Structure 1
Amino acid sequence: MADGVVERLLAEHAPGALVDDAVKRLLRRCALRTLSEVHAINACHERGEYQLSPCADPALDIPLGPVPNFPSPTPSVQAPEVSARPEKPVKLLSEAYADYERFMMSGLAEGGRWRNQTQRQNAMTIRLFTELVGDRPIHTYKKGDAKSFKAALQLLPAMHGRSPQWRMSTSEAVERVKALMAAGQALPNCLSVKTIKRHMSALSGLYAWLDENADEYGFEGDNPVQGHTYGKSKTKRGMWDSSDLQELFATPIWTGCDPSRRAKPGAAIIFSAYYWFPLIATYHGLRQEEIAQLRAVDIQQEDGVWIMNIHDERDNKVKNEAAERHVPIHKKLIDLGFLEYVAAFRAKSDDHLWPTLKRSGPDGKYAHYYTQRFTSYCRQTKMYDPTRPFHAMRASFRTFLEETEAKSAHISKLIGHSLNGTLRREVVSHWVV
């Protein structure tokens, strides 16, 4: 019995301890003495003697000997506690987008920093999506949500939020258009296919970024915005054909105007941005902001050919890398005195060719104010066509060149890529506008 007690106590209180035989014998004696004491106490209790102490028995007072020093037990090796990996907090779509926007505006993205216009457009997409579908955790959206969003955009008036008639919430505007459809009434112009594609692309870009950062955001699965079809746009941007341009250049800015009101006929021809912008766009196919950024130093001569240097140096900005190019100046502009106009700015500390234009608008563009003035001028001279904005002159330029013997590759380089001297001269020789 004593052996069993000793083994059990060692296993419970000193697991792994190395105990020699002498120590075990002493432990057995202690166990026997303890058992004897327990039996003695129980016997006293059976006789009703509860005041007696077992130590009164002389046999129990015999000393057992020195108390042995037990070796320290070998510490048991326990596996370290592994705390559960803390789960990333699930973010709402609006919260995830805020992180995405900060990243894209930081300039760390491979495609470069977002411009202000891109930022505004993407923020508008998220606002529309959360209003129409709801602001939920990012992993809860399915393809059906994206499909519902696209269907709502197709019914959203183009003038929503801008016209007094459509100043209401997005969902209210969509429901009103549905009611008009049900009643068989005339419908407003709704968002174009191009605009809808832009919204869907912005949303898809967010989910592509979340997928790239899955470790942080925990998003797994297919992009819910991919795989949608859109059809063809019903509205097309018009162009300025030859008769339109002849009519435009027969208006007061180019034939003589009142200095205080340029849409009114008069005797003054004022050489300024209002005079040169349409001419440069028509004969060179430059984008509006590319024209607006021109400085005297950008008008250069290479191999005997005068060119406009379109670049992103200093504070200039271009649409993309392909937009950096040298564009030969058409003989028509030289005959009209463009080089003399430029020469007047070369000695100035600020050689910007359009001193009345300042960076303005949400994107800080030089052309912001001019765009408004050109539209106003077209209205006053009965030249306005909503499908034919200033930018349509660029499309007209390409169309005119395609009708000549100019090679398509040369045209593409002229409107978007740098040209070597030989190609520039070849294109210039075929220019017919």
Structure 2
Amino acid sequence: MGGQNRSKKNLLDTENTFAIFLALVGDKPTQACTADDIDTFMAAMRVWPANASKKPAYRGLTPREVVAKAKRERTPGLAPRTREKHLDRLRLFFGTWLKRKKVDFNPCDGFQVTSKAEDESQTREPFSPAELRTLFSPDKLVYTLPHKYWTPILALYTGARVNELGQLHVEDVEEIAGIWGLHIRRKTKNCASRRFAPLHPELIRLSFLDYLVDVKKARFEHVFPGLTWGDNGPGDSIGDWFNRTYLRKTCGITSPTKVFHSFRHSFATAAERASVPTVGLPS
């Protein structure tokens, strides 16, 4: 599957996808897999509980037993984006074998979890004022690692996507005409996403620029050095920590519609109320 330079987490996620797939459709030759098998797997993902392997209620159950239990209890299932990731791993696997002419077709062709608009509306909503107070409570947002402290604050005040923040270079933070801001110009969603995002005065007050001086003195290239770069860039490691650990466990915000990307929606909502024009938000 072309595993060069793939992160350990990516490999573990892929192994998990295939372990569930094989348990649900049976261990068969690759060329024997059909669209019906993909349909069976994706139907299971629509009811599959998030983090099922970590929940005592599902511990020791086979994938088929997990699906049966989830159906009985009518669990909400995985978020569309998570289901899409599972499908992407299968699509990549079968696509590789198709290129090698070991199979005649990719059984994943034609499958789509949701449209982009549906994904946005179903899985991402702005944080409420009460949730924002919890997220930025001094007893919760404490300084441990730079990216764990600064990226939520930057996301709130700039509306930047998690991957845009994770891949920032030191030279991307610049003062133009007396205004400090972030050049969002690396690997962006599209050309229209490239922009200069001014830094809110609160970021200056919180000493973000002083932090940047320290990073420069240490001669780091990236604003947040040491992040794990997965297939999608460094944003995955930030998002995984925030969504799974900080948001759910530390802050107790468990709604599946609230994720790191909710900061972008919160920013867009605040900008709209203040009659500030936005480009490319909130997607």
Same fold (TM over 0.5): yes
Return the alpha-carbon distance in structure 2 between the equivalents of residues 308 and 127 of structure 1.
42
Corresponding residue for 1:171? 64
Corresponding residue for 1:152? 44
Corresponding residue for 2:255? 386
Per-residue deviation, 1:134: 1.9
Distance of aligned partners of 1:115 and 1:405 in 2 relative to their CA distance in 1, 3 Å threshold: farther
Question: Share of identical aligned residues, percent?
Answer: 24
Return the alpha-carbon distance in structure 2 between the equivalents of residues 151 and 277 of structure 1.
35
Corresponding residue for 2:159? 285
**Bigger Rg over Cα:** 1
Return the alpha-carbon distance in structure 2 between the equivalents of residues 395 and 136 of structure 1.
44
Aligned pairs (5 A) from 1:10-409: 101=1, 103=2, 105-106=3-4, 117-167=9-59, 168-178=61-71, 180=72, 186-214=73-101, 217=102, 219-220=103-104, 222-228=105-111, 235-242=122-129, 244-245=131-132, 249=136, 251=137, 253=138, 262-263=139-140, 273=146, 276-288=150-162, 290-291=164-165, 297-310=171-184, 326-343=196-213, 345-349=215-219, 359=227, 367=238, 371=242, 372-373=245-246, 376-379=249-252, 384-387=253-256, 388-403=258-273, 405-408=275-278
Deviation by residue 1:249-272 (Cα, 9 ceiling, x = unmatched): 5x3x2xxxxxxxx359xxxx9898
Return the alpha-carbon distance in structure 2 between the equivalents of residues 271 and 174 of structure 1.
38
Q: Does the Cα contact within 8 Å between 1:296 and 1:343 map onto a contact in 2?
A: no
Compare relative contact order (CA 8 Å, sep 6+) and give the higher one, 1 or 2. Answer: 2
Per-residue deviation, 1:140: 1.8
Return the alpha-carbon distance in structure 2 between the equivalents of residues 226 and 370 of structure 1.
32
Give 1:223's aligned amino acid.
Answer: N
Per-residue deviation, 1:163: 0.7
SS state at 2:197 partner: strand
| Count of paired positions | 270
SS state at 2:123 partner: coil
Give 2:255's aligned amino acid.
Answer: P
Give 1:153's aligned amino acid.
Answer: M
Per-residue deviation, 1:229: 6.3
Return the alpha-carbon distance in structure 2 between the equivalents of residues 403 and 373 of structure 1.
28
Pairwise CA RMSD: 4.2
Return the alpha-carbon distance in structure 2 between the equivalents of residues 361 and 244 of structure 1.
29
Return the alpha-carbon distance in structure 1 between the equivalents of residues 183 and 38 of structure 2.
44
Q: Which runs of 5+ in 1 are unaligned?
A: 1-100, 107-112, 181-185, 254-261, 313-317, 417-433
Corresponding residue for 1:22? none
Return the alpha-carbon distance in structure 2 between the equivalents of residues 369 and 124 of structure 1.
16
Q: Which runs of 5+ in 2 are unaligned?
A: none
Per-residue deviation, 1:166: 0.6
Q: Report the TM-score when normalising by structure 1.
A: 0.49
